[in-house]
Amino acid sequence: MTHIELSLSPLEPIAVDPLHSWSVPVSSAEESCLVIDADGVIVAASTPWVRLLSVERPSELAGHHVLNVLCLIDFTAAGNELGEAEREQIPPLLALTSKRPARGLLRVRAPQGAPSRTLDAVATPLWQGGQVVGSLSFFAAV
């Protein structure tokens, strides 16, 4: 006969780093997605996101601020670059500051003469220990 003892004491929560947890699936995702940290620095980007924006390879984007990678423009025919206040309102960054899911349209000028793109972006904050430590965003061309 085997004796098994069961402890009913509370368990310590496992400290999981959501940025690390999401970086691997995002890096290999077939969807256009992005993970940034609380400072807006890219942690991981999917290859489809890179293709959608006609920017560098995903591995080369890590460590760069998302606003240094995206050339955000307004919705006018002229496609003027957005000012600083407007740039801070894109869904990946808005999810950080509002601490809530964010959704919106953004227009991006592609490099090397490629046509500009309008994107629908959905972002959610990533939490750890009661603090927002980053955001996870998905993008679709409109």
Residue 93 lies in a domain: yes
CATH of the domain at 57: 3.30.450.20
Residue 132 lies in a domain: yes
Both tokens of 80, joined, read: 């003027």
104-124 pLDDT tens trace:
999 998 777 678 899 999 999
Residue 3 lies in a domain: no
53-103 pLDDT tens trace:
877 666 678 899 999 989 999 999 889 999 999 999 999 999 999 999 999
Residue 5 lies in a domain: no
Q: How confident is the model at residue 9 (pLDDT cuts 50, 70, 90)?
A: very low
The structural domain count of the chain equals 1
Alpha-carbon distance of 135 to 124, in angstroms, equals 5
Residue 9 lies in a domain: no
Both tokens of 10, joined, read: 């509370």
Give me the domain span that covers residue 119: 18-141
pTM of the model: 0.84
Residue 12 lies in a domain: no
Q: Are 141 and 125 in contact (CB under 8 A)?
A: no
Q: Are 36 and 66 in contact (CB under 8 A)?
A: yes
- DSSP-derived 3-state class of residue 27: helix
Residue 11 lies in a domain: no
Alpha-carbon distance of 133 to 96, in angstroms, equals 8
Q: Which residues pair with 134 in a beta bridge?
A: 37, 126
